[in-house]
């Protein structure tokens, strides 16, 4: 009997872990290349290998006999992806697309060519060029940053030394990592438009959501974005679909956006970042949409028809659980379940099997329903409880 | 840091496989005792051991360092469960409860003591006793039957030899397996009442569903049961909750019921079978309820607070995918995905990673929404497609 093709996933974080759930339902065998034993996804995917994703030989071993390879993160070297594709593995998203999620300099250049609205930006090579660009501004290293790392708001020339040193260190002195200057956008709020796209060109757009960052890390998502002008939402979806098509993305594309106002005072959008994998701003879909972003990522990279991205409730709220400020000795996340589940029988909890290090994403909660204020209270309470941040009321 | 306790699951079938999905979300580590390499659940649970569940030493190895043990099936010998409990493992459901799902003779006796409505029944030791009980009737072997196996409708004394021989064979001649005679119930339809119960006594009742059997195997479920008199539904839920409490069940209890009419012509219920594990008539909850039966089974056996059993849509329909009559060479179930998913972007597919043997349960589909006729058409079409039973229209 013909059996199902195997999908290789590079990277053992929570995104790979959460792909495992729909893979079980679809009968899709997974093979994992994990960065270390016992990491988040390695706890739940039996067919696994531990090794370094920066080593081409390891990548070749991990993807042998696999029809398709996809990713938990965007850090696999572009040239290795090209080598795997030349070997005959379907690399999804492919290196020609993924490079725009890996390199912010190339991303800005390409989006500019496409006429996609972006903050004013320029690659800068010296402090003088930063000053010429204009201060204050945002400096980013073009490769290797994530969750607020590799991003600085600089207000004086004295602040620019650290970004340049970070780029030098990240590029190992070979100039591969540059510094990108962007205008400091006075945004009204942040939005995210997530689409799935398959190699055959089918695409599905999720409703546009509102996302709140805290210290550069996604903290809270409301789906759909409250009070979003319908034409602005449609514009964001169309933009994400166009970028996915023009760049040849396969799988999930998340377009993080600033909602701002143009010179005429009308609401407008600017593209902040691109991600080509299931994204934190799409975790709400696990419980709030007819097909989750994780399932649609699998369907897309396997070139299966996509599932409906339709919301299942008027509102869904996602709040991340971050390791709290309480420090290391806060017990296991599992120990937080009795209170959280007893207080809210409708709470949906997603834990990643990670230790509770301060500031680290270790899980999230979803709630859905009709009353947004009620959902926000419940999701925030639960996330704070798991993080150990509710404090002791007797203190 | 304290880590989560480990849950051992005995049996590597699709029920264990589907427990793996909510275990990922709850951050609950699983250890599997599988009957063979590569079986359904062994494809998706990394921490696994292959061995014989009838061997106490194997069970002890499988449950070592586990806080709790639960089951994919009801075939573990009762005395081994008692031994594990004596070792200090929390056996859930416990042997004192599980025996009533293992032995239909003890089940009928106990339900009779509780005053639960049952078909007229008697344990019979000879053909003469069957004749005295009255023909036609149903004969069942008291242990070891499932999915219609071990059940016979007998209409003449000539038909009783096979059941007695089957009981003798199943009991290895030691008399442990007996023959139970039950009246042939003239039922209007079959219903199922599923409840979850935790060791601390918390319980949650799912809506009562209508179930249709085909050749003794669950074929189709409609949730909730159409046109069910509210008082009859409440009576079924109360009966299931009472049985769970009186028998001390932990985890999911499924009470399969006949809807019939009493001597006054009023609708009435009779208990057909009990199962103490997630049940085929509860698969609709994966996509149709706020908390699936698999998640509530895990929560219950871990003594975590139960999740809401509330439906998420007016109607949910589940149809099983059985290996079709087409025979062995029907390709992989995975090959059925492109048509099924393209035809119906809202279809929810659950495949078990099994070969397509005729009559074998290899997956199911769920659909939910407002229009029951539309849901029935979509679910039946998809299940027939996967089974290879739609035929070739050119023939």
Which positions in chain B touch A28 (Cβ < 8 Å)?
Answer: 334
Chain B residues closer than 8 Å to A346 by CB:
290, 307-308, 310
A197-to-A248, A273, A297, B133 alpha-carbon distances in Å: 9, 18, 8, 65
Residue A392 confidence (pLDDT) above 80: no
Spatial separation of the C-alpha atoms in residues A276 and A92, rounded to whole Å: 9
Burial of B109 (0-12, 13-18, 19+ CB in 10 A): middle
Give pLDDT tens digits along chain B (395 positions): 457 999 999 999 999 999 999 999 999 999 999 999 999 999 999 999 999 999 999 999 999 999 999 999 999 999 999 999 999 999 999 999 999 999 999 999 999 999 999 999 999 999 999 999 999 999 999 998 766 789 999 999 999 999 999 998 888 767 789 999 999 999 999 999 999 999 999 999 999 999 998 877 889 999 999 999 999 999 999 999 999 999 999 999 999 999 999 889 999 999 999 999 999 999 999 999 999 999 999 999 999 999 999 999 999 999 999 987 554 445 689 999 999 999 999 999 999 999 888 889 999 999 999 999 999 999 999 999 998 877 544 33
Number of domains making up chain A: 3
Claim to verify: residue A305 and residue A328 sit in the same structural domain: yes
User: Which residues make Cβ contacts (< 8 Å) with residue A344, sequence separation at least 6?
Assistant: A367, A378, A381, A382
Chain B residues whose CB is inside 8 A of the A312 CB are 312
Residues A197, A262 within the same domain:
yes
Distance CA(B15)–CA(A24), nearest Å, equals 12
Query: Measured between beta carbons, which residues in chain A are less than 8 angstroms from residue B291?
Result: 345
- Distance CA(B191)–CA(B185), nearest Å, equals 14
Cβ of A67 under 8 Å from any chain B Cβ? no
Indicate yes or no: CB of A3 within 8 angstroms of CB of B45.
no
Element of type H or E holding B182: strand B179-183
A201 in the same domain as A175: no
What pLDDT shows up at residue B172? 74
The residue with greater pLDDT, A218 or B69, is: B69
User: For all residues of chain A together, what is the average pLDDT?
Assistant: 93
Task: Give pLDDT, residue B325.
Answer: 57
In this prediction, residue A356 has a pLDDT band, given cuts at 50, 70 and 90, of confident
Position A143 pLDDT exceeds 50: yes
Residue A300 has, within 13 A of its CA and on its CB side, a CA count of 34
Task: With beta carbons less than 8 A apart as the criterion, state whether B29 and B47 touch.
Answer: yes
Is B115 among the domain residues?
A: no
Distance CA A186, CA A353 (A): 37
Compare A30 and A3 and report the one with higher pLDDT. Answer: A30
A357 and A260: one domain? Answer: yes
Q: By the CB < 8 Å criterion, does B92 face chain A? A: no
Q: What is residue A170's predicted lDDT score, i.e. its pLDDT?
A: 86
- Residue A157 sits in the same domain as residue A220: no
For the segment A98-105, the average pLDDT, to the nearest whole number, is 95
Closest-approach residue (CA) in chain A for B347: A307
| Interatomic CA distance for residues B64 and B47, integer angstroms | 12
Give a yes or no: residue B1 inside a domain.
Answer: no
* Cβ pair A224, A207 in contact under 8 A: yes
- The answer to whether the beta carbons of residues B35 and B52 sit under 8 Å apart is yes
Q: In what order do the strands lie in the sheet with A151-154?
A: A121-124, A179-183, A137-141, A151-154
At A134, which CATH number?
A: 3.30.1490.20
Q: Point out the domain boundary residue: B48, B74, B91.
A: B91
| Res. A174: pLDDT tops 90 | no
Q: Are B66 and B6 in contact (CB under 8 A)?
A: yes
DSSP designation for B351: E
How far apart, in whole angstroms, are the C-alpha atoms of residue B142 and residue B177?
6
The closest alpha carbon to A152, from A164, A165, A134, A138, belongs to: A138
Q: Which residues contact B91 (CB under 8 A, 6 or more apart)?
A: B68, B69, B81, B84, B85
C-beta separation of B339 from B385 below 8 A: yes
Q: Is residue A74 part of a domain?
A: yes
Given B165, B183, B201, which residue is the final one in a domain?
A: B183
- Report pLDDT digits (tens) over A191-215: 999 999 999 999 999 999 999 988 7
On whether residue A108 sits in a domain, the answer given is no
In sequence order, the 6+-apart residues with CB closer than 8 A to the CB of B265 are none
What SS3 string covers chain A? CCCCCCEEEECCCHHHHHHHHHHHHHCCCEEEEECCCCCCHHHCCCCEEECCCCCHHHHHHHHCCCCEEEECCCCCCHHHHHHHHHHCCEECCCHHHHHHHHCHHHHHHHHHHHCCCCCCEEEECCHHHHHHHCCCEEEEECCCCECCECEEEECCHHHHHHHHHHHHHHCCCCCCCCEEEEECCCCCEEEEEEEEECCCCCEEECCCEEEEEECCEEEEEEECCCCCCHHHHHHHHHHHHHHHHHHCCCEEEEEEEEEEECCCCCEEEEEEEEECCCCHHHCCHHHHECCCHHHHHHHHHCCCCCCCCCECCCEEEEEEEEECCCCCCCCCHHHHHHHHHHHCCCCEEEECCCCCCECCEEEEEEEEECCHHHHHHHHHHHHHHHHCCCCCCCC
B20/A44 touch (CB, cutoff 8 Å), yes or no: yes
What pLDDT score was predicted for residue A391? 54
Most B CBs within 10 Å, among A13, A27, A288, to test the B interface: A27
B37 touches chain A (CB under 8 A): no
Q: How far apart are CA B87 and CA B61, in angstroms?
A: 12
Same domain, A178 and A202: no
B333/A175 Cα distance (integer angstroms):
50
Alpha carbon of B89: minimum distance to chain A alpha carbons (Å):
19
Q: Find where tokens 């050119």 sit.
A: B394
Contacts of A43 (CB under 8 A, 6+ apart): A17, A353, B29, B46
Task: Say how far apart CA A309 and CA A288 lie, in whole Å.
Answer: 10
Cα–Cα distance, B317 to B326 (Å, whole number): 25
Place of tokens 């119960």: B197
Please tell me the number of Cα atoms within 13 Å of B356 on its side-chain side.
29
Note which residues in 163-222 of chain A have CB less than 8 A from chain B: none
Whole-model pTM: value is 0.96
> A103 lies in a domain?
no
Domain boundary among A129, A155, A183: A183
> 236-265 in A: which are within 8 Å (CB) of B?
none
B361 CB within 8 Å of a chain A CB: no
**Average pLDDT in the A176-186 region?**
94
Asked if residue B393 belongs to a domain, the reply is no
Q: In this structure, are residues A32 and A41 in contact, taking their beta carbons and an 8 Å threshold?
A: yes
Nearest to B346 among A46, A290, A346 (CB): A290
A221 plus A137 within the same structural domain: no
* Whether the predicted pLDDT of A115 surpasses 90: yes
3-state secondary structure of B15: helix
Does any domain span residue A101? no
The CATH number of residue B199's host domain is: 3.30.470.20
Residues 6+ apart with CB under 8 A from B335: A2
At residue B235, what are phi and psi to the nearest 5 degrees? -65, -40
**Confidence at residue A251, expressed as pLDDT on a 0 to 100 scale:** 98
Minimum CA–CA partner of B343 in chain A: A305
The DSSP string of B188-236 is SEEEEEEEEE-TT--EEEPPPEEEEEETTEEEEEEESPTT--HHHHHHH
Residue B331 Rama label (left phi>0; alpha psi -120 to 50; beta): left
- By residue range, what is the domain housing residue B169? 120-183
CATH number of the domain enclosing B54: 3.40.50.20
CA B44 to each of CA A9, A40, B360: distance values in angstroms, whole numbers, following the listed order? 15, 14, 20
| Nearest CA-CA distance, residue B43 and chain A, Å | 7
Mean pLDDT of A221-239: 97
* A224 and A251 housed in the same domain: yes
- Are residues B145 and B212 located together in one domain of the fold? no
pLDDT for residue B328 = 46
User: In the predicted model, what is the mean pLDDT of residues A60-86?
Assistant: 96
Confidence check: pLDDT of A180 > 70: yes
**Which residues, other chains included, contact B169 with Cβ-Cβ below 8 Å and sequence gap of 6+?**
none
Structure tokens at A277: 């994998």
Cross-chain Cβ contact A345/B306 below 8 Å: yes
The verdict on B174 and B197 lying in the same domain is: no
Q: Please give the Cα distance from A82 to B305 (Å, whole number).
A: 49
Residues paired with residue A274 on neighbouring β-strands, in sequence order: A255
Gap between the Cα atoms of B123 and B178, Å rounded: 7
Q: Does residue A290 share a domain with residue A170? A: no
* B113 located within any domain: no
H or E segment at B165?
A: helix B161-170
Residues present in chain B in total: 395
Query: Which residues numbered 261-320 in A keep a CB inside 8 Å of some CB on B?
Result: 290-291, 299, 304-308, 310, 312
> CA quadruple A165, A169, A171, A175: dihedral positive or negative?
positive
Q: What is the ipTM of this complex?
A: 0.95
CA-nearest residue of chain B to A5? Answer: B334
Q: What are the tokens at B228?
A: 């069910």
User: Could you tell me if B378 lies within 8 Å of chain A, comparing CB atoms?
Assistant: no
Q: B334 vs A48: CB contact, 8 Å cut-off?
A: no
Q: Does A326 lie in the same domain as A229?
A: yes
| Partners of residue A353 in chain B, C-beta under 8 Å | 27, 29
pLDDT category, A218, cuts 50, 70, 90?
Answer: confident
């Amino acid at each position: 009997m013909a059996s199902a093709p195997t999908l290789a996933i590079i990277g053992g974080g929570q995104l790979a872990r959460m792909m495992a759930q729909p893979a079980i339902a679809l009968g899709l065998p997974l093979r994992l290349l994990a960065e270390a034993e016992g990491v988040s996804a390695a706890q739940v995917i039996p067919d696994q290998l531990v090794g370094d994703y920066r080593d081409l030989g390891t990548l070749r071993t991990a993807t042998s006999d696999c029809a398709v390879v996809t990713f938990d993160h965007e850090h696999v070297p572009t040239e290795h992806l090209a080598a795997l594709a030349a070997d005959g593995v379907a690399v999804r998203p492919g290196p020609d697309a993924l490079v725009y999620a890996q390199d912010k300099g190339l991303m800005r250049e390409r989006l500019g060519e496409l006429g996609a609205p972006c903050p004013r930006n320029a690659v800068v090579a010296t402090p003088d060029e930063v000053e010429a660009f204009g201060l204050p501004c945002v400096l980013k290293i073009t490769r290797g940053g994530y969750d607020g790392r590799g991003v600085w708001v600089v207000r004086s020339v004295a602040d620019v030394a650290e970004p340049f040193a970070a780029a030098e260190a990240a590029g190992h002195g070979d100039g591969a990592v540059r510094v990108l200057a962007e205008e400091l956008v006075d945004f009204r709020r942040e939005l995210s438009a997530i689409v799935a796209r398959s190699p055959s060109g089918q695409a599905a757009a999720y409703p546009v959501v509102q996302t709140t960052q805290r210290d550069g890390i996604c903290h809270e998502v409301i789906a759909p974005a409250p009070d979003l002008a319908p034409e602005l939402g449609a514009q964001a979806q169309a933009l994400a679909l166009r970028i996915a098509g023009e760049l040849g993305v396969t799988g999930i594309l998340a377009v993080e956006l600033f909602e701002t106002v143009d010179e005429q005072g009308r609401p407008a959008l600017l593209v902040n970042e691109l991600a080509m994998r299931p994204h934190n701003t799409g975790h709400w879909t696990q419980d709030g949409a007819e097909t989750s972003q994780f399932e649609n990522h699998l369907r897309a990279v396997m070139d299966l028809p996509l599932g409906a991205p339709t919301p299942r409730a008027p509102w869904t709220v996602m709040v991340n659980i971050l390791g709290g400020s309480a420090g290391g000795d806060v017990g296991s996340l599992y120990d937080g379940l009795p209170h959280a589940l007893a207080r809210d029988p409708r709470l949906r909890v997603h834990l990643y099997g990670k230790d509770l290090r301060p500031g680290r994403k270790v899980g999230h909660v979803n709630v859905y329903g009709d009353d947004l204020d009620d959902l926000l209270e419940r999701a925030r309470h639960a996330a704070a409880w798991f993080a150990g941040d509710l404090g002791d009321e007797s203190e």
